Structure 1
Amino acid sequence: MTLNSIGDQARAYALQVASNRIKTTLSTLTQEVASGQVADVGQRLEGNTRALNEIESRIRLTSQLRQNGSDAAIRLQAIQDVFASVRLSTTELGFALAVDPFGDAAVLGTRSAEVANAFESVIQRLNGTNSNRYLFSGEASDVVPLSSAAEMLDILQGITAPLTTAADVAQAVSDWFDAPEGGGGFLDTAYHGTLGPAQRISVGEGVAVPMETTGASAAVRDLLKGLAMAAVMDRGALAGNPVERRQLMTTAGLQMTVADSSMLSEMGRVGLAQQVVERAQVTGTSSLNALERARGEIRSADPFETAAALTEVQGQLEALYAVTARLSKLKLVDYLR
């Protein structure tokens, strides 16, 4: 008759291995009960994880698009806020310049100083940042979009100094702001952002919004043009000729009034982009919720099965502890009996 036996050390090792295995299983089941998800998705899906991987990829893509949309919405709203602030300080001023008769030279001088201050204020607003990014620099969001008001007026002062009529000064200022790239005007010397095709931000699957508004936009230049026409008088343009100065002030006011309509149109275009972003965000949220539900259904653990398995493993662990305790009390003298 053959007898098989193992030594005490081997038995202790076997018990330790069994204990570790049961504890690991117990920890896994406890985690599944707490999280409601299976610990080993691959085993649940029998190795076929393609569908789950596709869902995970779409969740990541949709989440990124929603983040893009959130960033675009913040940027577009910041642009709207800047334009609203600019119009608040220029709309009534432009109307006043267009209709005010400017009875004497002192009033005319006060008005030109007021416009120069407004010009500087508008430039500062357009050079503002949001989330450490310049709003009106196009893709070069780390670059200040516009030169200072003083630098622009220095250039315009040199251009208009020899001119003697309001029409000539207004035309010279207009030509400088309207000069194309490479023409030595505003776009070359005062605007420092990017030109060309507008930056497009993907905010949904197949949906992108163009970020077209910059410091070089026609509406922005038209408003700056009107302000600059009057502000150059604060630098001495048409000095000693009150009739021509009054005419230039009126022309500047009319230009600002026309530019205000352009600003409203630009704000409307930005508003349309905001609507596109908002719709994409709603669609993205709905898609993301559906994808997360589908992922949850794949990864969810059955609470009843998990609880039953947990109870079984607890019983196994208790039995192992009982066996270990009984073996630890064995003595050689008891065995020899």
Structure 2
Amino acid sequence: MSVHSIGDQARAFALQAASYRIKTTLATLTDEMASGEVADLGQRLNGNTQVLGHIEARITGLDQFRRNATEAALIVQGMQDVLVSVQSDAGALGLSLVAEPFNETESLLEMRAGEVGGAFETAVARFSRSVGDRFLFSGLNSDMPALAQASDIMDALELATTGLTNAADIAQAVSNWFDAPQGGGGFLDVAYQGTLGQPQRIEIGEGEAIGLSTSAATPALRDVLKGLATAALVERGVLAGQHQERRDLMQIGGQILLDNNSNLLSEMGRIGLGQQIVDRAQTESASALATLRIARNDLRAADPYETAGALKQVEAQLEALYAVTARLSSLKLVDFLR
């Protein structure tokens, strides 16, 4: 009968290789048990990873749409907050300018003129507000404020009304300045720093985008500034010494604010519609992402019962290997020769 044997060094190498293989398998099974995912996706899917790749690509795309929708939600909410504040203040101020007689006193008129001047500065600052690093009312020039400084705008209006001696003419000059087309040397050239026409577009879903067309040049917003600026010229000393004309000028400004209130509310309604579109897109993206992640997890998930059984089997193999190794290491030549 043939007897096959191996040397001590070869036996040690064989035991070491078996130990490494079992430990590697044990580590792999332990990771699968902890993560809940199989380590070898190719083997799990029999090499057909196309479906999983498609799912991963869609998840990546929807994640980007979700981030875009979150940004869009912040922008439209910021725009709505600005317009709510402006509409509230402009409505109350317009009503007081038209209804109050200022008691025929110059001091009261000066006090109210100062209030209007402050309201104009506040409105300019609000229309130049930003969310993160994006300015809300600048059109495509979202990296810069929508409007120049309030003082610069008022300086330009003072220059445009120089030499006029009654409230009606000054109010008309202010209106012409604000309504002048681009290149006419008015509001669009001096005060507005954004773009015209093309809206900001943000992709918020698969085949769905929101266009943000409201800017500081939108007529409803521009007329708020027009009404406030018309009345605020009194603070600049326009029509000095003509109490009745100054009072009339402030009332004209207040009437512009009141007449524009419905237009401002309509613009707020348009932004509100944009908020609804973004909310719907966020809901749809969240639902699609949840479905795709469940499908991905089903493809990648390890069977916990099967993994636990394999883990027990590998542990038994490792214990047996250790027992054999311990037994072999205790052998002595004297014992073998007996």
* Smaller-chain TM-score bracket: over 0.9
- Which TM-score applies when normalising by structure 2? 0.95
1:206 aligns with 2:226: no
Separation in structure 1 between the aligned mates of residue 304 and residue 231 of structure 2, nearest angstrom: 77
1:141 corresponds to: 142
1:230 aligns with 2:192: no
Uncovered stretches (5+) of structure 1, i.e. residues with no partner: none
Which range moves more in the overlay, 53-62 or 123-132?
A: 123-132
Structure 2 SS opposite 1:239:
coil
Structure 2 SS opposite 1:196:
coil
Shift of 1:108: 2.3
Separation in structure 2 between the aligned mates of residue 92 and residue 49 of structure 1, nearest angstrom: 64
1:99 corresponds to: 99
Separation in structure 2 between the aligned mates of residue 8 and residue 69 of structure 1, nearest angstrom: 68
- Which TM-score applies when normalising by structure 1? 0.95
1:152 corresponds to: 153
Separation in structure 1 between the aligned mates of residue 20 and residue 194 of structure 2, nearest angstrom: 65
Q: How many positions carry a matched residue from both structures?
A: 337
Which range moves more in the overlay, 127-136 or 282-291?
A: 127-136
- Code of the aligned partner of 2:325: T
- Code of the aligned partner of 2:282: Q
Structure 1 SS opposite 2:141:
coil
- Code of the aligned partner of 2:222: R
- Code of the aligned partner of 1:239: A
Separation in structure 1 between the aligned mates of residue 184 and residue 3 of structure 2, nearest angstrom: 105
1:31-50 equivalence runs, <5 A = 31-50=31-50
Give the % identical residues: 55
1:114 corresponds to: 115
- Code of the aligned partner of 1:55: I
2:56 corresponds to: 56
Separation in structure 1 between the aligned mates of residue 191 and residue 171 of structure 2, nearest angstrom: 18
1:19 corresponds to: 19
Which range moves more in the overlay, 239-248 or 297-306?
A: 239-248
1:76 corresponds to: 76
Contact persistence 2:97–2:250 (CA under 8 A): yes
- Code of the aligned partner of 1:148: Q
1:307 aligns with 2:308: yes
Separation in structure 1 between the aligned mates of residue 298 and residue 75 of structure 2, nearest angstrom: 37
Shift of 1:305: 1.2
Which range moves more in the overlay, 102-111 or 214-223?
A: 102-111
1:172 corresponds to: 173
Structure 2 SS opposite 1:91:
helix
Shift of 1:325: 0.8
Which range moves more in the overlay, 242-251 or 313-322?
A: 242-251
Separation in structure 2 between the aligned mates of residue 159 and residue 140 of structure 1, nearest angstrom: 27
Shift of 1:298: 0.8
Shift of 1:224: 0.1
Q: CA RMSD in A?
A: 1.6
1:320 corresponds to: 321
- Code of the aligned partner of 1:207: E
Separation in structure 1 between the aligned mates of residue 88 and residue 200 of structure 2, nearest angstrom: 28
Shift of 1:293: 0.9
Shift of 1:118: 0.8
2:289 corresponds to: 288
Separation in structure 1 between the aligned mates of residue 8 and residue 215 of structure 2, nearest angstrom: 83
Contact persistence 2:224–2:257 (CA under 8 A): yes
Separation in structure 2 between the aligned mates of residue 128 and residue 240 of structure 1, nearest angstrom: 37
Separation in structure 2 between the aligned mates of residue 270 and residue 88 of structure 1, nearest angstrom: 16
Separation in structure 2 between the aligned mates of residue 21 and residue 81 of structure 1, nearest angstrom: 64
- Code of the aligned partner of 2:135: Y
1:276 corresponds to: 277
Separation in structure 2 between the aligned mates of residue 35 and residue 250 of structure 1, nearest angstrom: 72
Shift of 1:4: 4.1
Contact persistence 2:232–2:250 (CA under 8 A): no
- Code of the aligned partner of 2:130: T
Separation in structure 2 between the aligned mates of residue 133 and residue 202 of structure 1, nearest angstrom: 16
Shift of 1:282: 1.1
Shift of 1:148: 1.5
Separation in structure 1 between the aligned mates of residue 326 and residue 142 of structure 2, nearest angstrom: 72
Structure 2 SS opposite 1:270:
helix
1:238-277 equivalence runs, <5 A = 238-277=239-278
- Code of the aligned partner of 2:327: R
